[in-house]
Amino acid sequence: MKYALLSDVHSNLEAFRAVIKDLERESVDHVCFLGDIVGYGADPAQCIDILKGLTSWIVAGNHDWAAVGLTDTSYFNSAAKKAVDWTTELISPSHQKFLKSLPLTCMPSGIQLAHATPHKPERWGYIYSLQEAQDGFNHAEQQICFIGHSHSPVTFVENSEGTVSLLPDSSFSIRDEYRYIINVGSVGQPRDGDPRAAYGIFDSEHSSFIIKRVVYSIEDTKKKIIEAGLPPSLASRLSAGR
Ligand code: ZN
C-alpha cells in the first residue's frame, strides 16, 4: 500500500492543490492528514471541503481545535491568534462541526497518526530533541508514528537496543527491527528554509519513505493573505520558508 502523509495545510489552497496534483501522479492508495487544515492562510473553507473529500484518516491540529474553541490559544503569537479569530468568523457551522469531530490520534492499518506527539497529543508539545523523541517512542503504539506540527521534516529512529538517533535523509528504507517517528513537514507553511510544499509517501510493500517537495504559486497565496487583511508576516514568511 502507498500512503501519502500530509500535514499543516493552514488554509493554503494553492499549496494544497499542487500537492494533490502531485500525489495523483504517485498513484497513492490512501491519504492521511496530520492536522492543521486551517489557521494562517486565507482559504479555510475551501481547504476543509477538499480535505473532507480526500480522506477520512484525519487528526486534529492545534489550529483546528483553536478555531472551534477546543483548545487554549493564550500561547499563540499575535499573528496566529488573529488568523484563528479570522478563521472562526469565516467558516460555516458545518465546517466548525467537522473540525470539532476530529480525533487527536488514529491508527489506520498499523501506523499511528498524531499532529504533535504520540503521547498526550492534546498538549501540543514538539519533538525536536533526541530526549523528546525518546519520550515519544516510550508511548508510541505502532512501529511508525507520523507527525507534523513543527513544519520541518525530520525522522527519529529507535534501534533494537532502544537507542534513538536522528535520520537526516529525506528518503530511506524502513527496517523491521527499528521504530520511527517521522515528521512529514508542512504543505502550506514550510519552516525548514525550503518554501516548496512538503509531504511524505510511505510505501508499506517496498518498506520505503520519501519526503517530496512541490512548487506552487506562492505569490497568489501571499496576495490572498494580504487582501483578506491577515497579518502581512503570514504572507512574507511563505517565500522564506520560515
Ligand atoms: Zn501547524
DSSP states along 136-202 = HHHH--SSEEEE-SSSS-EEEEE-TTS-EEEE--SEEEPPTT-EEEEE---SSS--SS--SEEEEEE
How many angstroms separate the alpha carbon of residue 161 from the centre of ligand 1? 33
Percent of the chain with pLDDT over 70: 100
Q: Are 91 and 238 in contact (CB under 8 A)?
A: no
Domain range list for the chain: 2-240
How many angstroms separate the alpha carbon of residue 179 from the centre of ligand 1? 24
For 1-24, how does the pLDDT look when each residue is reduced to its tens digit (9 = 90+)?
Answer: 999 999 999 999 999 999 999 999
| pLDDT beyond 90 at 206 | yes
At 99 the pLDDT is 98
How confident is residue 108, by pLDDT bands cut at 50, 70 and 90?
A: confident
At 151 the pLDDT is 98
Phi and psi dihedrals of 83, rounded to 5?
Answer: -65, -35
Phi and psi dihedrals of 172, rounded to 5?
Answer: -160, 165
How many angstroms separate the alpha carbon of residue 127 from the centre of ligand 1? 13
Percent of the chain with pLDDT over 90: 96
Angle at 211 between CA 210 and CA 212, to 5 degrees: 110
How many angstroms separate the alpha carbon of residue 176 from the centre of ligand 1? 30
- From the centroid of its chain, how far is CA 132? 18
How many angstroms separate the alpha carbon of residue 160 from the centre of ligand 1? 32
How many angstroms separate the alpha carbon of residue 13 from the centre of ligand 1? 15
How many angstroms separate the alpha carbon of residue 79 from the centre of ligand 1? 13
Phi and psi dihedrals of 26, rounded to 5?
Answer: -80, -10
How many angstroms separate the alpha carbon of residue 177 from the centre of ligand 1? 31
| pLDDT beyond 90 at 165 | yes
How confident is residue 168, by pLDDT bands cut at 50, 70 and 90?
A: confident
Q: Give the mean pLDDT of the chain.
A: 96
At 232 the pLDDT is 97
How many angstroms separate the alpha carbon of residue 116 from the centre of ligand 1? 9
Domain range 2-240, its CATH number among 3.40.50.11540, 3.60.21.10, 3.40.50.2000, 3.40.50.300: 3.60.21.10
How many angstroms separate the alpha carbon of residue 133 from the centre of ligand 1? 19
How many angstroms separate the alpha carbon of residue 124 from the centre of ligand 1? 10
At 109 the pLDDT is 81
How many angstroms separate the alpha carbon of residue 169 from the centre of ligand 1? 22
How many angstroms separate the alpha carbon of residue 193 from the centre of ligand 1? 15
How confident is residue 178, by pLDDT bands cut at 50, 70 and 90?
A: very high
Please state, in angstroms and rounded to a whole number, the distance separating the CA atoms of residues 114 and 122: 10
For 114-136, how does the pLDDT look when each residue is reduced to its tens digit (9 = 90+)?
Answer: 999 999 999 999 999 999 999 99
For 19-63, how does the pLDDT look when each residue is reduced to its tens digit (9 = 90+)?
Answer: 999 999 999 999 999 999 999 999 999 999 999 999 999 999 999
